[in-house]
Amino acid sequence: MVSRMAFARLAPAFQRASTSAASRRVFPSIRTYATAESEHSMTVREALNMAMEEEMIRDEKVFILGEEVARYNGAYKVTKGLMDKFGEKRVVDTPITEMGFAGIAVGAALQGLRPICEFMTFNFAMQAIDQIVNSAGKTYYMSGGNVPCPVVFRGPNGAAAGVAAQHSQDYAAWYGSIPGLKVISPWSAEDCKGLLKAAIRDPNPIVFLENEMMYGVSFPMSQEAMSDNFLLPIGKAKVEREGSDVTIVAHSKMVTHSMEAADILSKEGIKAEVINLRSIRPLDIDTIKKSVKKTNRQVFDVRLRYFAYGSFRLLIVEGGFPAFGVGSEICAQIVESEAFDYLDAPVERVTGADVPTPYATNLENLSFPDTPLIVKVAKRALYRTN
């Protein structure tokens, strides 16, 4: 418990360090999405904060609970200022007991409130897995649709930088396999605002998987996205970049690598289509199949880690563990559908290493695919390289 408390206090420092030195080293163009031509720009952190504030103003049944969310403004400052605006009855600091406060959130949702339950990291949510999967995920169905459970579980998911094996797991596939849960994995500021607002209003339990490395990244915001009524549909992917040669499917931080890879490929005359998955469950397989048929080279699902697929070429690039991932599921659904007829080659997967994430920086960097690797595999899918 002492180490957990220390982590809570030190997390912002880790975050600042990771978004400066590590981000510049590994993702040199990660902060280039907001442009001078954008009417508005906003960080992912600010977008999440705005979404919660707007929904708390709109609906007095919405409240936030979790470790350090109130007086400390959140371990990553996502809830900054909300206690001052709404008071301690609606922004609630909890003890260090994920099982306990997740259970409180589920109970409150079953009684008609709309709690937002923040986990300092989804690695700690392992302590609350029964509350999320059984109590939240199954009650709506087991009650014959009479008892909804409108709770949002949110927080950072997946690998960050220098936080080692026990704080680096990606839980998209874990929660994505559970009927009754909806699982969201946003990338941009617009994703975060529109999808979090939609999640708070949804009658189902939502697992909202953020990424620590993205919190400080700025993105352009459209005038529509700045509106109080801006919502994005859950279960619908977005084509971030049109292309005709190869399809790259990604979610969360991996969209960054995919966009960078597409830029590099374009210089060699390769037009890559980049799909931002946004939602893990429900999965928008139709958008992927449509792209596969168009490019005839299905490609990547770079999930919070990476996956690649190719239509005529199906490559799975994933930063998560090799076995039983989101990319594996997308691959299976493609193979079981009419899109299989458009594949030109066997499916190839590029994944994170099949080991617990190392703490040593040099080993950690070798554990996950990066932009150059996505470029290499895309070119190999097109028979442009060995």
Q: Label residue 167 exposed, middle or buried (CB < 10 Å: 0-12, 13-18, 19+).
A: buried
Q: In residues, how long is the chain?
A: 386
Choose the catalytic residue: 55, 67, 167, 329.
167
Q: Kindly report whether the peptide bond that precedes residue 358 is cis, defined as omega within 30 degrees of 0.
A: no
Q: Is 273 a catalytic residue?
A: no
Active site residue 98: yes
Q: What is the number of alpha carbons within 13 Å of residue 113 lying toward its C-beta?
A: 17
- The DSSP symbol for 240 reads E
Q: How many CB atoms lie within 10 A of CB 346?
A: 8
Residue 303 in tokens: 């999930």
Which is the catalytic residue, given 54, 55, 98, 329? 98
What is d(CA 265, CA 262) in angstroms, rounded to the nearest whole number? 5
Residue 358, both tokens: 């190392």
Structure tokens at 111: 């009684």
β-partners of residue 42 are 219
Contact 234, 195 (CB under 8 A): yes
DSSP per-residue codes, 128-188: GHHIIIIIIHHHHHHTTTSS----EEEEE-S--SS--GGG----HHHHHT-TT-EEE---S
Give the 3-state secondary structure of residue 307: coil
Query: End-to-end distance of the chain based on CA atoms, in angstroms?
Result: 50
Distance, CA of 246 to CA of 271 (rounded, Å): 7
C-alpha 290/C-alpha 264 separation (Å) is 24
Q: Report the C-alpha gap between 281 and 133 in whole angstroms.
A: 14
Write out the catalytic residue numbers. Answer: 98, 167
